[in-house]
Structure 1
Amino acid sequence: MLERLELEAFLTLAEILHFGRTAEHLHVTTGRVSQTIKKLERRIGADLFERTNRSVRLTPLGLRLYEDLRPAYDQIRSAVERAIADVRQAPGTLRVGFVGAAAGQIVHQAADLFSRHEPDCRVRARETQVAEALQRLRAGDVDILVTSLPLAAPDIVVGPVVISEPRMLAVPSDHPLAGKPSADMEDLADIPLLRLAGALPGDWPSDRWPERTPGGRAIRGGPYFETFQEALQLVGTGSGGMIVGAQVTRFYNRPDITCLPFSDAPPIDWAPVWLKSSTSLLIPAFARAAQEVANRVYLGGR
């Protein structure tokens, strides 16, 4: 039998293919991840990863082990999460998470509308930090979450878009880009982009930290952040830039940050999301209430 850390370290490294980011996601040291993988390889009797100074790749054996283990691990995790959710879920209570101020407005207004249709159900709205939002959804801390798209996680249902806002580039106010009237995607090569700590592939929008511009220029990676306020502080102090939605200029305006609208990028969409394993009819009902509120407030009947 595999120990829990062996299983999680192997699966996470197989998806991220980076020892440092795997350690960040698991909240352990890089050395601990390396030792755990070596221990697992000794038990199996062969290498599971090919390592060089520049890259980490699965061996054919490692790929086959990943393909065998991943579905079983997901099934076990989902079963545990459902059991936890059943224990925590109080009758008549819907726990709604949101990321950011604009999503919070939608959630609170939707809660009022939802309560008129479901008077016996109490809505508990909870703000979640960007780095932990999906973790809290999967752990059963919230039943439904309003967050930004796109999401490609196979265990997540994406509801209707409730916010569609212009995409902007946040840069330090003393950066040369701050003097431009707008930004384009090629400008991303001129400033390192902040990255979300612990993000798994598919869990958070990769369009927020692309590796190259449309013209093929490399985009430097900036510091990692866990909370949005931490990210704003990093931008304001000159550590890098960040792709944001236009709500930043309304709710998070700072004199040390300039936000430039993109001239060649699509808007950022937000939507309620929930677990595919969820069976409560209250969850899609709340999503419909959020969409109704959004049609009046943000989307103009779209």
Structure 2
Amino acid sequence: MITRATVERNEIEAFLTLCEELHFGRTAERLRVSTAHVSKTIKAVERQVGAALFDRTSRKVALTPVGAQLRDELRPAYEQMQRSVRNARLAGRGIAGTLRVGYFGSAGGRYLLEVGEKFHARYPECEVRITEMQLSDGANRLRSGEVEALLCCFPMCEPDMAIGPPLISEDKMLAVASGHDFARRQTVSLEDLADVEMIQNPPELPADFDEFHHPKRTPSGRRIPPGPTATTFQEILALVGAGKGVYLTTTQAPLFYTRPDVTFVPVTDAPPLQFGLGWMSTGLTRRVEALVQVAVDVGNQFRS
């Protein structure tokens, strides 16, 4: 237990940063202070605690049991304090008006609705309006100013866009015709895709994004035969149900797009689909900055 009535903010910050880095030099670089200053600060906290917080050797730095306990108790309170300061700063700037946000798919809409409700509760002078769009036109509608922010599927590598941190993540599933052999399996792998045709996304979709989530070859290099092209998810599912091919989607699809002719099978080795907010590099307004913080808070709740 720390005996002094208050602990300086810089002491908490130095302690928690060292907990992450476990290296005095890297901690000093992050805090933009000298290594000696970090060491002095940590020793001051240890004197207040009355016990060593780190085991130090010439080769490594490790938390002691007391240090680990202090880290676990301090971190949530410190992060909440940081959020409160940011929220107060944004509120003081005057977040008002209408914030237009785009999204893809029903799962993204559900998430953004919750974000919008919490945003409006925090900033009652600002209204959030969300708009569904297709993968092929999201970036263009952001550029045109129709929306100020976009819930993007990663990876998003548009040179004129800025991308925030990952907020939500969904495991992959394969949509197959209910009469297909795969529909009777518990799982499939990416190698299995060499034996079926893959429904193709519209050509307007960024090539790097399309290849990441809908590869043209299996991990061993076998070719995945291309099927017909579709422009919307409903068109994709119609083709899948008609036996024209399969399509990689996510765990949210069966919740929002149930069809008797389509079965969703988990894919064991495909990368998850991650979502985060994007905006124009020149368009980080006060409203967008505030939205990103609220979205991070809601994303943390989704993962907990």
Distance 1:99 1:200 in 2: 13
Residue 98, structure 1, aligned to residue 108, structure 2: no
1:183 aligned to 178, 181, 188, which one?
188
Residue 122, structure 1, aligned to residue 122, structure 2: no
Please tell me the residue identity of whatever aligns with 1:211: K
Shift of the alpha carbon at 1:244?
0.4
Structure 2 counterpart of 1:195: 200
Distance 1:201 1:98 in 2: 17
Counterpart contact for 1:150–1:205, Cα < 8 Å: no
Shift of the alpha carbon at 1:113?
1.0
Give the secondary structure class of the aligned counterpart of 2:191.
helix
Give the secondary structure class of the aligned counterpart of 2:131.
strand
Residue 238, structure 1, aligned to residue 226, structure 2: no
Aligned Cα RMSD in Å?
Answer: 1.6
Identity across the alignment (%): 39
Give the secondary structure class of the aligned counterpart of 1:178.
helix
Structure 2 counterpart of 1:60: none
Distance 1:147 1:266 in 2: 16
1:299 aligned to 279, 300, 303, which one?
303
Residue 150, structure 1, aligned to residue 155, structure 2: yes
1:243-279 CA-partner distances (Å, limit 9, x unpaired): 1010011111211111111112222111111111213
Shift of the alpha carbon at 1:172?
0.9
Which sits farther off after the overlay, 151-160 or 94-103? 151-160
Matched residue count:
209
Please tell me the residue identity of whatever aligns with 2:123: E
Stretches of structure 2 that go unaligned for 5 or more consecutive residues are: 1-95
Residue 284, structure 1, aligned to residue 289, structure 2: yes
Counterpart contact for 2:213–2:271, Cα < 8 Å: no
Distance 1:205 1:289 in 2: 29
Distance 1:283 1:203 in 2: 26
Shift of the alpha carbon at 1:189?
0.8
Shift of the alpha carbon at 1:147?
2.8
Shift of the alpha carbon at 1:122?
1.6
Distance 2:198 2:274 in 1: 20
Counterpart contact for 1:158–1:274, Cα < 8 Å: yes
Shift of the alpha carbon at 1:158?
1.6
Structure 1 counterpart of 2:58: none
Shift of the alpha carbon at 1:200?
4.5
Give the secondary structure class of the aligned counterpart of 1:222.
strand
Shift of the alpha carbon at 1:198?
3.0
Please tell me the residue identity of whatever aligns with 1:294: G
Alignment of 1:10-29 (within 5 A): none
Please tell me the residue identity of whatever aligns with 1:187: D
1:42-86 CA-partner distances (Å, limit 9, x unpaired): xxxxxxxxxxxxxxxxxxxxxxxxxxxxxxxxxxxxxxxxxxxxx
Alignment of 1:24-35 (within 5 A): none
Structure 2 counterpart of 1:56: none
Counterpart contact for 2:135–2:205, Cα < 8 Å: no
Give the secondary structure class of the aligned counterpart of 2:157.
coil
Distance 2:140 2:231 in 1: 13
Distance 1:224 1:279 in 2: 35
1:132 aligned to 137, 159, 168, which one?
137
Please tell me the residue identity of whatever aligns with 1:299: R
Structure 2 counterpart of 1:208: 213
Cα 1:165–1:286 shift into 2, 3 Å: same
Which sits farther off after the overlay, 200-209 or 182-191? 200-209
Distance 1:152 1:190 in 2: 31
Structure 1 counterpart of 2:7: none
Residue 254, structure 1, aligned to residue 243, structure 2: no
TM-score normalised to structure 2 length: 0.65
Shift of the alpha carbon at 1:97?
0.7
Give the secondary structure class of the aligned counterpart of 1:169.
strand
Shift of the alpha carbon at 1:202?
4.9
Distance 2:155 2:106 in 1: 19
Structure 2 counterpart of 1:267: 272
Counterpart contact for 2:136–2:205, Cα < 8 Å: no
Give the secondary structure class of the aligned counterpart of 2:303.
coil
Distance 1:215 1:142 in 2: 41
TM-score normalised to structure 1 length: 0.66
Provide runs of 4+ in structure 1 moved above 6 Å.
none
